[in-house]
């Protein structure tokens, strides 16, 4: 089961190369494509206020069950539009772990502009890419391994 695979690897293992810029003080963080909530729960355990966005009902429901004690707000939403009507405001950090490759080039442009608008000035955008074959019933597009950094929410990256 995909949900079990997500939880087998820890947040620290997945993000070990980028842990230093994660806000040290409690901050508002957005986890896009949260899956089972592994990252969202780990960030909440560090004292952050976390909004976990997951469009797949099965994964979202599983995450809500296994991380029921976490201070994570779950939202059914998705890139590129990402309305977040129920969670307005900006974020100190945005995580998109294994979500970017599910967007085509046009959707990535729209998504980047939306993420830039959601970031506070000086906020960080963390992108973790998945390469390889697409899981069953999921579409994936080729993605390059560019490093993204949004220095200001007014600067949408291409």
The CATH number that applies at residue 83 is 3.40.50.150
Q: How many domains does the chain contain in total?
A: 1
Is residue 105 one of the residues assigned to a domain? yes
Contacts of 25 (CB under 8 A, 6+ apart): 47
Whether 139 is in a domain gets the answer no
Look at residue 67 and tell me if it is in a domain.
yes
Q: Which two tokens stand for residue 121?
A: 């000035």
Task: Find the domain containing 41 and state its range.
Answer: 25-127
Pairing state of beta strands 49-53 and 28-32?
A: parallel
92: which residues sit within 8 A by CB, 6+ positions away? 23, 27, 28, 29, 119, 120, 123, 124
d(CA 84, CA 40): 16
Residue 96 maps to a domain: yes
pLDDT tens digits for the chain (158 residues)?
555 566 667 777 776 777 777 888 999 999 998 989 999 999 999 999 999 999 989 999 999 999 999 999 999 998 898 999 889 899 999 998 777 766 888 888 898 899 999 999 999 988 765 545 555 555 654 555 553 433 333 344 43
Instruction: Assess if residue 63 is contained within a domain.
Output: yes
């Amino acid at each position: 089961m995909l949900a079990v695979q997500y939880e087998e690897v820890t947040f620290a293992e997945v993000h070990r190369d980028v842990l230093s810029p994660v806000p040290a003080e409690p901050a508002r963080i957005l986890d896009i494509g949260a899956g089972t909530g592994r990252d969202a729960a780990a960030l909440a355990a560090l004292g952050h206020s976390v909004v976990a966005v997951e469009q797949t009902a099965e994964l979202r429901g599983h995450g809500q069950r296994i991380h029921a004690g976490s201070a994570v707000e779950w939202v059914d939403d998705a890139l590129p539009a990402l309305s977040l009507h129920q969670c307005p405001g900006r974020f100190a950090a945005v995580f998109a772990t294994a979500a970017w490759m599910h967007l085509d080039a046009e959707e990535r442009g729209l998504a980047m502009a939306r993420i830039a608008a959601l970031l506070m000035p000086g906020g960080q955008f963390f992108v973790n890419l998945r390469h390889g074959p697409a899981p069953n019933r999921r579409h994936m597009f080729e993605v390059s391994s560019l490093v993204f950094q949004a220095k200001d929410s007014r600067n949408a990256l291409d």
